[in-house]
Chain A
Amino acid sequence: MNSSPHILRDFDNAIAAFKSEVLAMAAKARHNLERAVQALMERNSELANSVIADDDDVDDYERSIDQHGMDILVKYHPMATDLRLVVSSMKISMNLERISDHAVNIAKRAKKISATPELSEVNLIEPLYTLADHLLRDAISSYSDGNSALGASLHTRDKELDRMHKQTTAHFASRMEEAQGRCQEYLHLIFIVRSLERVGDLSSNIGEDAVYLEHAKDIRHKSTLEREMSGEE
């Protein structure tokens, strides 16, 4: 990343404000996910409603980041690292918006589960959330700190989340057959697990954008072996 100041100070200000906006959006999306899972665990419909309402803020961030990114492209014609920063930030903002959408999905299902008798297996969600949240946290750090090694590591770590997703989904599916009166709730839990698995995928995407930002390397759609062979993981 460029650390020395730009000759045009206005450009540096625009870039700094742009990056701050992406980080503020990331914090908001992560907070929404945290509160959605909290609403599920604590059977708190009010909290779930506020997550659903706050998604509008994330949508506003996405629109604003796209607009400011376009403004920078039009006004300053950035090159090299600066160009990659604008492009990758706009892509990261799109991934963050989807993460917040998954938080909304979880919150909506949390409300429905709260309206039924308590289900102890809701606790099985927690380890998946913890891993998904760590992946998201590290994805954001890889972008904000220019840590491409951390960004590249997310792809492999996401495989653990995929494994947990399969295992937990299989468990809930078998419970659906056993406890037929509670089919609906288990179905909600399966979709919640799926949302958390998607948060892992989207965080991995953000990590890949951070690698592109730092080294102009496109590591998307590469297998773990290909990444290892090219020294990216």
Chain B
Amino acid sequence: MQDHSVVIQELDFRYGSSPALKNINLEIPAHGVTAFIGPSGCGKSTLLRCINRMNDEIAIAKITRGSIHINGIDIHDRSVDVVKLRRDVGMVFQKSNPFPRSIYENVAYGIRLRGEKNKAVIDQSVQEALEAAALWDEAKDRLDESALGLSGGQQQRLCIARTLAVKPQIVLMDEPCSALDPIATAKVEDLIFQLKSDYTFVIVTHSMQQAARVSDKTAFFYMGELIEFGDTARIFSNPTVKKTEEYITGRFG
């Protein structure tokens, strides 16, 4: 039996009176990359944010039906600590958002928050996270410099390092390369490829090519519904649903 990190069942979600997700059923496999694609407003980012309960912060947002289980645990169960959930399910955003602190502090912050006080352990964890994010070689001699002095691509990799530093199981990425040039994009994609055996990635992207390159599974959403989900190679060469075919071939709307 395949190990599913995230199991979403019969999920309905609303912003106020507007339904944003309708009856979503999806099993995201562990240790792989799942891409969410679809036109703007289709609900893909909303669903991504449901996975670590980021939507809890939005007053009018509400799950009205269904459930999300991570490793068999209902994430809306009363016993679930949301802070721990967000540590286990890290998130990288569209726009890189490093803290206005040093490179070192950006990565060390989450480690300290986790309760680690030993300087040597924190140093080691910072180095490991920066190495995992393929930023160590570029940053090791300027750890005390401001993170804001890094290039856009480096800042995004720093955000990935910051996410990895707290040892998550799942990494959610909301259009992580939309503001990056092709070289920086390739570095982030290579990073995903290198790390996917240790983490479960869920990536929202508007780039069909990126979804085709980095993901193992692809889910296509349209107007709040999951239209098709399957192996990426099949979705992009032979989708079974006409709507998916129309979207990925650019014959839409």
Q: What is A's interface to B at a CB cutoff of 8 Å?
A: 2, 4-8, 11, 77-84, 215-216
Q: How far is the CB of B250 from chain A (nearest CB, A)?
A: 5
A79 touches B251 (CB 8 A): no
B251 touches A5 (CB 8 A): yes
B245 touches A81 (CB 8 A): yes
Excluding A7-B252, A79-B208, A79-B237, 7 further A-B contacts by CB distance (< 8 Å) are: A2-B251, A6-B249, A6-B251, A79-B248, A80-B249, A84-B237, A216-B238
A83 touches B252 (CB 8 A): no
A83 to B208, CA, bound (A): 13
A4 touches B246 (CB 8 A): yes
Q: How far is the CB of A183 from chain B (nearest CB, A)?
A: 52
Q: How far is the CB of B175 from chain A (nearest CB, A)?
A: 18
Q: Which of A5, A6, A84 has the most CB of B within 10 A?
A: A6
Q: How far is the CB of B202 from chain A (nearest CB, A)?
A: 21
Q: List 9 A-B contacts (CB under 8 A).
A: A2-B246, A2-B251, A6-B250, A7-B252, A7-B253, A77-B208, A79-B236, A81-B249, A84-B237
- Of all chain B residues, the one with the shortest Cβ separation from A76 is B250
B209 touches A80 (CB 8 A): no
7 nearest interchain CB pairs?
A: A216-B238, A79-B248, A4-B251, A7-B250, A6-B250, A82-B249, A79-B236
Interface check B152, CB cutoff 8 A: no
Q: Which residues from B are CB-within-8-Å of A81? A: 245, 249
Q: Mark B179-211, 1 if CB is under 8 A from A, else 0.
A: 000000000000000000000000000001100
Q: Mark B208-221, 1 if CB is under 8 A from A, else 0.
A: 11001000000000
Q: How far is the CB of B61 from chain A (nearest CB, A)?
A: 31
Q: Which residues from B are CB-within-8-Å of A215? A: 238
Q: How far is the CB of B85 from chain A (nearest CB, A)?
A: 36
A82 to B248, CA, bound (A): 10
A77 to B236, CA, bound (A): 11
Q: Which residues from A are CB-within-8-Å of B29? A: none
Q: How far is the CB of A47 from chain B (nearest CB, A)?
A: 44
Q: How far is the CB of B251 from chain A (nearest CB, A)?
A: 5
- Of all chain B residues, the one with the shortest Cβ separation from A216 is B238
Q: Which residues of B220-253 are within 8 A (CB) of A?
A: 236-239, 245-246, 248-253
Q: Which of B209, B212, B251, B252 has the most CB of A within 10 A?
A: B251
Q: Which residues from B are CB-within-8-Å of A78? A: 249
A4 to B247, CA, bound (A): 11
A14 to B238, CA, bound (A): 21
B250 touches A11 (CB 8 A): yes
From B237, B246, B248, contact of A216 by CB (8 A): B237
- Of all chain B residues, the one with the shortest Cβ separation from A11 is B250
A80 touches B252 (CB 8 A): no
Q: Which residues from B are CB-within-8-Å of A84? A: 237-238
Q: Which residues from B are CB-within-8-Å of A6? A: 249-251
Q: Which residues from B are CB-within-8-Å of A8? A: 250
Q: Which residues from A are CB-within-8-Å of B208? A: 77, 79
- Of all chain A residues, the one with the shortest Cβ separation from B245 is A80
A82 to B245, CA, bound (A): 10
Q: Which residues from A are CB-within-8-Å of B238? A: 80, 84, 215-216
Q: Which residues from B are CB-within-8-Å of A83? A: 236-237
A8 to B249, CA, bound (A): 10
Q: How far is the CB of B237 from chain A (nearest CB, A)?
A: 6
A8 to B252, CA, bound (A): 11
Q: How far is the CB of B25 from chain A (nearest CB, A)?
A: 24
A78 to B237, CA, bound (A): 10
Q: Which residues from B are CB-within-8-Å of A7? A: 250-253
A138 to B207, CA, bound (A): 39
A39 to B196, CA, bound (A): 64
A80 touches B251 (CB 8 A): no
- Of all chain A residues, the one with the shortest Cβ separation from B251 is A4
Q: How far is the CB of A7 from chain B (nearest CB, A)?
A: 5
A2 to B208, CA, bound (A): 18
A55 to B146, CA, bound (A): 68
Q: How far is the CB of A10 from chain B (nearest CB, A)?
A: 11
B237 touches A80 (CB 8 A): yes
Q: Mark B7-31, 1 if CB is under 8 A from A, else 0.
A: 0000000000000000000000000
Q: Which residues from A are CB-within-8-Å of B239? A: 80
A2-B251, A5-B251, A84-B237 as given contacts; A77 in contact with B246, CB under 8 Å:
no
A216 to B248, CA, bound (A): 16
